[in-house]
């Protein structure tokens, strides 16, 4: 369809008012939207809403132990955040593996989440942090906000729980507990500009060899990014030794349901899952 | 002589110095005007409807809705134009009217007032097909009862090449060790940054001016004319700067006559530009080949025989890809001293896309095979990779079975320098020991070598290049050459040659080589030939101009021309450098004085090479070059990722002319070969391209580009300009097998089919762990 209206709101309220009738495409950084609409994979809806001028949706802050990252915060902003580098380095690490400098400069965090790619690079570390997303809507003449756990946000490849009249305004998560260590690995023959064949994050608190607060998130091995709950259960409260690593690797292998595609075979994705969980546990557990 | 003239100018050479490409500033600042930037008055946008089938009969094409769309000026199908054949074997048509044979086939085209209207018109064209049974593999295509791609080739055989020398059977019987291997090399594509683009404009008398990216403007006219049914003499080719060619623009492809036919139909200029997706699907690839190679060696390490069967997937039509055996077999039969050699190459039509020429012209494939086999044979006989190669390397003066005269053979030098500079043998041995040490990081070192024509390749009746050189009243030189600049840097090299001979600065030289109506004939940019051939022609023209100038100067003074030289814009005494007269003043005196003499010379240089005879024998090139490249890699045995840490390239160059230019050529070539080794592959499934984007077709990017160390072996090639050999292709040929050999050194697993993707390496290691 051809775009009939183009709107440039400068506040969340203005944006959700524009969105209230649905039938709108939201433009943030455009790094996914542009190639998708150019290739025909995605069609523009009647109204194009350019949200890039909503300043209240930018920035990284921490308040009373809760971090808030505005949805329009770019991947470069995350990469360059001294606060995140000090407190939540796994997010910075993931940003450092994200596409190329030019794309990072434009791509927004909310955009990476709403694109809902099983391989979305910023999603895995946010899953390790038990992040929630905040969605704004315009209901009965007032601004309405709701929160949803990020893990529940994804309903399929490219599909989310966000309604057509909603806007993802920010991402929030609690400050990690003391001793929490989170690490991220991403595959690809190229160190840059690569869509993951598998991406994985493992986080835990390790005390005298025993793991707690274990979180395992894996991308590109299922229709959505996943939390590997069974693998987490295998590890939680246990002493990390070689046999536990084997057990965790086996559990992770059972939790993934990879496919063959142009980038990798299911076999290789399963293989990488095993390699990565071992490597990540080796780092997180030490 | 005036007092001001009493200065002494020392002889300075510019040969071997670092000269920036004259086109570089415009490219770096975005000023370069590509065809893509051009707009002519009344210009229309052309667009092609490509088929979505791989083998189908065309039942009908309904263009009514497209024609009715406002802003559409022409809609053409194969039925609207005469069925004119073109291509090297005349098996292609601009628009297909009866059937489609591959996914890139052109079934209709539109010319419209805008890109958007053209897109809409294309979407409105309805084509009805009846699918035919397709065939995709070359071996299946040759089997009995296979679907027929071209009715006039019922056996699907396209081209066949055969060469034999010595008694293979006897050599095999007498060999201590005989091994056989199979290799398969993939579809890869050129990835020119500038997608295919053409602008066609007819004048009122029916003459065509075509703005083209071609790298062979003179034969391009001859090849384009049959597709249009016009006389080649009625075509003028203008060549604006191009965003890469690498061999892909050495042929005429259907979009070019289609654009001209649209221009003819509308009587307006028409420009046609590919999208990136079209560029991946609808432009040529490198030739994929399946090889079977039998090799023999004696226990003392001497090669005994080499027998090669090459099966080429021709695809649906014939561009230059299936002709690459001509160059490919020279490596199989002539690289290292092999007493008995045999090569058979057969190309079979299939419903796949088709290959054109691509930097290396068949030798990329041959070198991947021979360099891998050389490593395996060395191991078979228990020799190290260096000693084994040195034992079998030819010496200067040897002639290969196909008649390549190695009068200046630097193969042994290259190998020795490469081994020495990299501490090859000690690293090689240490890496083998490290294979069994626990840990997932393994290190490898590998070497590969090859040979390539370095003085042109006489595959046409002439391998020449023409030059027109003039000097104006201000001592500014204009060099009009047949040689095209496609980014490879010939403008700088030719300028240096003129500078050297005429003693004028770089800024005072203009190179003109973008208009077929002005330039004298040249075969084209291919076969690593331009520095050698165009360089020789420019050198001869510059020397003729120099002689004319010095003769005139001698006439005015009491010395002979031989006692004079041209330096820094002056005529000087050769022995002491004392300036006699400024060059521009002398030129004005020649021009406006009694003799009315203008300096403008012409030259046509034909190298002393020979076309092959019917048996593929002849000294095809006026010179041959070798190279030895070493790759050092790190292999992650968990993920299978191969990281190339360093490439050390030792290149036999005759003589460096532009040091900056040759470094750029070599680094670029190495990057191309790195992609071939590790990541690049156009994935074909049932005739369709699965990864037509830079997202999924993985060219190397900056972070994985290794450290590159270059060494030039300079020997002064007798026939070459200033002693230079042409070496543009070898850097794109040799690194890939050096990388594969290095991976073997690291993990003990041999790969017979590039690219060595992480998945392929991980799988091989996984399988090896169960053996």
Query: Which of 338-377 (B) contact A at CB < 8 A?
Result: none
In tens, the pLDDT along B742-770 reads 999 999 999 999 999 999 999 999 998 87
Interface test with B, best of A187, A190, A259 (most B CBs within 10 A): A190
Whether residue B2 has pLDDT greater than 60: no
Question: Which of B683, B690, B701 has the CB atom closest to A190's CB atom?
Answer: B701
In tens, the pLDDT along B90-112 reads 999 999 999 999 999 999 999 99
User: Do B758 and A189 lie within an 8 Å CB cutoff?
Assistant: yes
A90 contacts A201 by C-beta, under 8 angstroms: yes
Average pLDDT rounded to a whole number, residues A66-78: 98
Residues of chain B positioned with their CB less than 8 A from the CB of A195: 695-696
B417 contacts B713 by C-beta, under 8 angstroms: yes
* Residue B4 or residue B483, greater confidence: B483
**Pairing label, strands A159-160, A167-174:** unpaired
Average pLDDT rounded to a whole number, residues B527-531: 97
Residue where the block lists tokens 């086996």: A250
DSSP string, chain A: ----EEE--SSHHHHHHHHTT--EEEESS-TTHHHHHHHTSS---SEEEE-TT-GGG--EEEETTEEEEETT-BHHHHHT-HHHHHH-HHHHHHHHTSS-HHHHHH-BHHHHHHTT-TT-TTHHHHHHTT-EEEEEEEETTEEEEEEEEHHHHEEETTEES--TT-EEEEEEEEPPPTTEEEEEEE--SSSSS---S-EEEEEEEEETTEEEEEEEEEESSSSS-EE-HHHHHHHTT-B--HHHHHHHHHHHHHH------SS--HHHHHHHHHHHHHHHHHHHT-
Question: Which of B696, B701, B703 has the CB atom closest to A262's CB atom?
Answer: B696
Whether residue A193 has pLDDT greater than 80: no
Average pLDDT rounded to a whole number, residues B122-142: 98
In A, minimum Cα distance to B277 occurs at A39
- pLDDT tier at B1 (50, 70, 90 boundaries)? very low
Q: Largest Cα–Cα distance in chain B?
A: 91
**Is residue A108 located within the same domain as residue A163?**
yes
In tens, the pLDDT along B386-445 reads 999 999 999 999 999 999 999 999 999 999 999 999 999 999 999 999 999 999 999 999
Residues pairing with A142 in the sheet: A139
Q: Does A271 touch chain B (CB under 8 A)?
A: yes
Q: Does A207 touch chain B (CB under 8 A)?
A: no
Query: Which of 579-608 (B) contact A at CB < 8 A?
Result: none
User: Do B704 and A190 lie within an 8 Å CB cutoff?
Assistant: yes
Would you tell me how many other CB atoms lie within 10 Å of the CB of residue B489? 25
Residues of chain B positioned with their CB less than 8 A from the CB of A121: none
Residues pairing with A145 in the sheet: A136
Q: What does the block give as tokens for A140?
A: 């009965």
Residues of chain B positioned with their CB less than 8 A from the CB of A102: none
CA distance A104 to chain B (A): 16
- pLDDT tier at B700 (50, 70, 90 boundaries)? very high
Supply the pLDDT for residue B5.
52
Q: Does A1 touch chain B (CB under 8 A)?
A: no
∠ CA A255-A257-A260, rounded to 5°: 150
- pLDDT tier at B468 (50, 70, 90 boundaries)? very high
A59 contacts A84 by C-beta, under 8 angstroms: no
Q: Alpha-carbon distance B316 to B349, whole Å? A: 6
**Is residue A120 located within the same domain as residue A92?**
yes
Q: Alpha-carbon distance A212 to A83, whole Å? A: 25
Supply the pLDDT for residue B86.
95
Answer with the one of A174, A190, A207 that is the final residue of a domain. A174
- Where in B42-105 does DSSP place strands (E)? 44-50, 56-62, 72-77, 99-100
Residues pairing with B752 in the sheet: none
| Structural class in CATH, domain B3-32+464-605 | alpha beta
Which residues neighbour B373 within 8 Å (Cβ) at sequence distance 6 or greater?
Answer: B179, B181, B293, B295
User: Do B762 and A271 lie within an 8 Å CB cutoff?
Assistant: yes
In B, minimum Cα distance to A269 occurs at B759
In tens, the pLDDT along B20-74 reads 999 999 999 999 999 999 999 999 999 999 999 999 999 999 999 999 999 999 9
Share of chain B above pLDDT 70, in %: 99
**Is residue A65 located within the same domain as residue A169?**
yes
Q: Do domains B3-32+464-605 and B358-457+619-769 have the same CATH topology?
A: yes
**Is residue A150 located within the same domain as residue A233?**
no
Domain count, chain A: 3
**Is residue A102 located within the same domain as residue A202?**
no
Residues of chain B positioned with their CB less than 8 A from the CB of A187: 639, 758
In tens, the pLDDT along B312-346 reads 999 999 999 999 999 999 999 999 999 999 999 99
Interface test with A, best of B440, B694, B759, B760 (most A CBs within 10 A): B759
User: Do B703 and A272 lie within an 8 Å CB cutoff?
Assistant: no
Supply the pLDDT for residue B712.
98
CA distances from B292 to B137, B336, B402 (A): 16, 19, 20
* All structural domains of chain B with their residue ranges: 3-32+464-605, 36-132+197-241+249-273, 358-457+619-769
For A221-254, b where at least 16 C-beta lie within 10 A, e where not — what string? bbebbbbbeebbebbeebebeeebbeebbebbbe
Q: Alpha-carbon distance A257 to A255, whole Å? A: 7
Residues of chain B positioned with their CB less than 8 A from the CB of A271: 762, 766
Supply the pLDDT for residue B3.
47
CATH of B358-457+619-769, one of 3.40.190.80, 3.10.310.30, 1.20.1340.10, 3.30.365.10: 3.30.365.10
**Is residue A274 located within the same domain as residue A190?**
yes
Domain containing A214 — which CATH number?
3.30.390.50
User: Do A268 and B690 lie within an 8 Å CB cutoff?
Assistant: no
User: Do B757 and A189 lie within an 8 Å CB cutoff?
Assistant: yes
Q: Does A103 touch chain B (CB under 8 A)?
A: no
Average pLDDT rounded to a whole number, residues A154-182: 96
In tens, the pLDDT along B615-673 reads 999 999 999 999 999 999 999 999 999 999 999 999 999 999 999 999 999 999 999 99
- Domain B36-132+197-241+249-273 fold is Aldehyde Oxidoreductase; domain 3 (3.90.1170)
Average pLDDT rounded to a whole number, residues B134-139: 98
User: Do B639 and A187 lie within an 8 Å CB cutoff?
Assistant: yes
Answer with the one of A174, A204, A226 that is the final residue of a domain. A174
Supply the pLDDT for residue A187.
86
- pLDDT tier at A2 (50, 70, 90 boundaries)? confident
Residues of chain A positioned with their CB less than 8 A from the CB of B638: 275, 278-279
Per the prediction, chain B carries an average pLDDT of 97
Whether residue A189 has pLDDT greater than 70: no
* Residue A263 or residue A136, greater confidence: A136
CA distance B285 to chain A (A): 19
Q: Which domain holds residue A76?
A: 59-174
Q: Does B276 touch chain A (CB under 8 A)?
A: no
Supply the pLDDT for residue B771.
66
Interface test with A, best of B758, B763, B770 (most A CBs within 10 A): B758
In B, minimum Cα distance to A100 occurs at B701
Per the prediction, chain A carries an average pLDDT of 95
**Is residue A46 located within the same domain as residue A143?**
no
Whether residue A195 has pLDDT greater than 90: no
Q: Does B758 touch chain A (CB under 8 A)?
A: yes
Q: In chain B, what are the helix, strand and coil shares in percent, each to the nearest 5?
A: 30, 25, 40
Which residues neighbour B615 within 8 Å (Cβ) at sequence distance 6 or greater?
Answer: B163
Q: Alpha-carbon distance B172 to B338, whole Å? A: 12
């Amino acid at each position: 369809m051809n775009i009939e209206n183009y709107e440039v709101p400068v506040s969340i309220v203005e944006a959700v008012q524009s969105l209230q009738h649905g039938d709108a495409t939201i433009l943030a950084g455009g790094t996914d939207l542009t190639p998708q609409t150019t290739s025909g994979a995605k069609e523009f809806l009647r109204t194009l809403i350019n949200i890039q001028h909503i300043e209240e949706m930018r920035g990284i802050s921490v308040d009373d132990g809760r971090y808030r990252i505005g949805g329009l915060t770019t991947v470069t902003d995350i990469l360059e955040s001294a606060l995140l580098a000090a407190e939540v380095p796994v997010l910075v690490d993931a940003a450092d593996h994200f596409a190329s400098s030019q794309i990072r400069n434009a791509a927004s965090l909310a955009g990476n989440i709403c694109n809902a790619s099983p391989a979305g690079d910023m999603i895995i570390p946010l899953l390790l942090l038990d992040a929630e997303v905040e969605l704004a809507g315009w209901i009965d003449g007032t601004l309405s906000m709701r929160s949803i756990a990020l893990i529940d946000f994804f309903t399929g490849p490219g599909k989310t729980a966000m309604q057509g009249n909603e806007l993802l305004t920010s991402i929030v998560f609690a400050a990690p507990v003391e001793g929490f260590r989170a690490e991220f690995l991403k595959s690809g023959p190229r160190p840059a500009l690569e869509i993951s064949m598998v991406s994985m994050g493992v986080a835990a608190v390790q005390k005298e060899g025993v793991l707690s607060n274990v979180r395992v998130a894996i991308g590109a091995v299922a229709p959505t990014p996943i939390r590997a709950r069974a693998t987490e259960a295998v590890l939680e409260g246990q002493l990390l030794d070689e046999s536990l690593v084997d057990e965790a690797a086996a559990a992770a292998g059972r939790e993934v349901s990879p496919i063959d595609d142009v980038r990798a075979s299911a076999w290789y994705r399963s293989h990488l899952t095993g390699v990565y969980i071992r490597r990540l546990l080796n780092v997180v557990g030490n | 002589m005036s007092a001001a003239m009493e200065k002494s100018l020392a002889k300075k050479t510019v040969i071997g110095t670092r000269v920036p490409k004259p086109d570089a500033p415009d490219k770096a600042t975005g000023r370069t005007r590509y065809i893509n930037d051009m707009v002519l008055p009344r210009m229309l946008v052309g667009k092609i409807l490509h088929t979505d089938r791989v083998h189908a009969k065309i039942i009908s094409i309904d263009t009514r809705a497209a024609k009715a769309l406002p802003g559409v000026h022409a809609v053409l199908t194969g039925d609207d134009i005469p069925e004119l054949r073109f291509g090297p074997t005349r098996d292609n048509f601009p628009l297909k009217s009866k059937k489609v044979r591959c996914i890139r086939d052109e079934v209709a085209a539109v010319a419209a007032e805008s890109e958007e209207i053209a897109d809409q018109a294309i979407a409105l064209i309805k084509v009805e097909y009846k699918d035919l049974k397709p065939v995709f593999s070359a071996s299946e295509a040759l089997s009995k009862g296979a679907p027929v791609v071209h009715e006039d080739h019922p056996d699907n055989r396209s081209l066949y090449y055969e060469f034999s020398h010595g008694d293979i059977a006897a050599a095999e019987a007498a060999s201590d060790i005989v091994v056989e291997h199979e290799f398969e090399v993939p579809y890869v594509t050129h990835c020119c940054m500038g997608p295919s683009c053409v602008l066609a404009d007819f004048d009122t008398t029916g003459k065509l001016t075509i703005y083209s990216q071609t790298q062979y403007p003179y034969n391009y006219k001859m090849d384009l004319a049959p597709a249009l049914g016009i006389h080649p003499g009625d075509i003028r080719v203008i060549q604006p700067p191009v965003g890469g060619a690498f061999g892909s623009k050495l042929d005429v492809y259907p979009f070019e006559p289609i654009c001209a036919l649209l221009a003819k139909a509308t009587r307006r200029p028409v420009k046609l530009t590919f999208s990136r997706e079209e560029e991946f699907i609808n432009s040529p690839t490198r030739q994929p080949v399946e090889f079977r190679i039998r090799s023999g060696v004696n226990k003392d390490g001497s090669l005994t025989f080499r027998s090669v069967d090459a099966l080429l997937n021709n695809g649906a039509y014939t561009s230059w890809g299936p002709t690459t055996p001509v160059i490919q077999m020279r490596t199989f039969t002539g690289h290292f001293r092999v007493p008995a050699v045999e090569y058979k190459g057969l190309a079979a039509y299939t419903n796949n896309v088709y290959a054109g020429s691509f930097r290396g012209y068949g030798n990329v494939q041959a070198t991947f095979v021979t360099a891998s086999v050389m490593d395996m044979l060395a191991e078979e006989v228990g020799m190290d990779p260096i000693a084994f190669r040195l034992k079998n390397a030819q010496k200067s003066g040897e002639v290969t079975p196909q008649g390549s005269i190695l009068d200046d053979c630097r193969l042994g030098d290259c190998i020795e320098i490469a081994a020495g500079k990299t501490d090859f043998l000690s690293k090689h041995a240490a890496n083998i020991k490290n294979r069994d040490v626990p840990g997932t990081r393994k290190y490898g070192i590998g070497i590969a070598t090859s040979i390539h024509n370095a003085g042109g390749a006489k595959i046409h009746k002439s391998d020449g290049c023409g030059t027109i050189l003039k000097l104006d009243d201000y001592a500014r030189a204009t060099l009009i050459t047949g040689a095209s600049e496609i980014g490879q840097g010939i403008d700088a090299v030719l300028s240096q040659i003129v500078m050297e001979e005429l003693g004028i600065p770089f800024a005072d030289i203009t190179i003109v080589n973008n208009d077929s109506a002005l330039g004298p004939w040249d075969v084209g940019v291919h076969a690593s030939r331009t520095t050698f051939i165009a360089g020789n022609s420019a050198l001869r023209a510059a020397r003729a101009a120099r002689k004319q100038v010095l003769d005139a100067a001698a006439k005015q003074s009491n010395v002979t021309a031989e006692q004079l030289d041209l330096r820094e814009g002056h005529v000087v005494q050769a022995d002491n450098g004392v300036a006699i007269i400024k060059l521009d003043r002398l030129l004005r005196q020649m021009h406006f004085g009694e003799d009315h003499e203008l300096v403008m010379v012409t030259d046509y240089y034909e190298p002393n090479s020979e076309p092959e005879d019917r048996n593929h024998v002849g000294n095809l090139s006026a010179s041959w070059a070798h190279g030895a490249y070493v790759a050092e890699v790190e292999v992650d045995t968990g993920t299978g990722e191969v990281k190339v840490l360093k490439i050390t390239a030792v290149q036999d160059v005759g003589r460096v002319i532009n040091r900056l230019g040759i470094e750029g050529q070599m680094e670029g070539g190495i990057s191309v070969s790195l992609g071939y080794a590790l990541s690049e592959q156009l994935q074909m499934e049932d005739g369709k391209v699965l990864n037509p984007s830079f997202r999924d077709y993985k060219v190397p990017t900056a972070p994985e580009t290794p450290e590159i160390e270059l060494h030039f072996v300079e020997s002064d090639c007798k026939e070459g300009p200033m002693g230079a050999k042409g070496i543009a292709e070898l850097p794109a040929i040799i690194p890939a097998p050096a990388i594969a050999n290095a991976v073997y050194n690291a993990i003990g697993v041999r790969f017979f089919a590039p690219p060595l993707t992480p998945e392929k390496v991980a799988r091989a290691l996984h399988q090896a762990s169960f053996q």
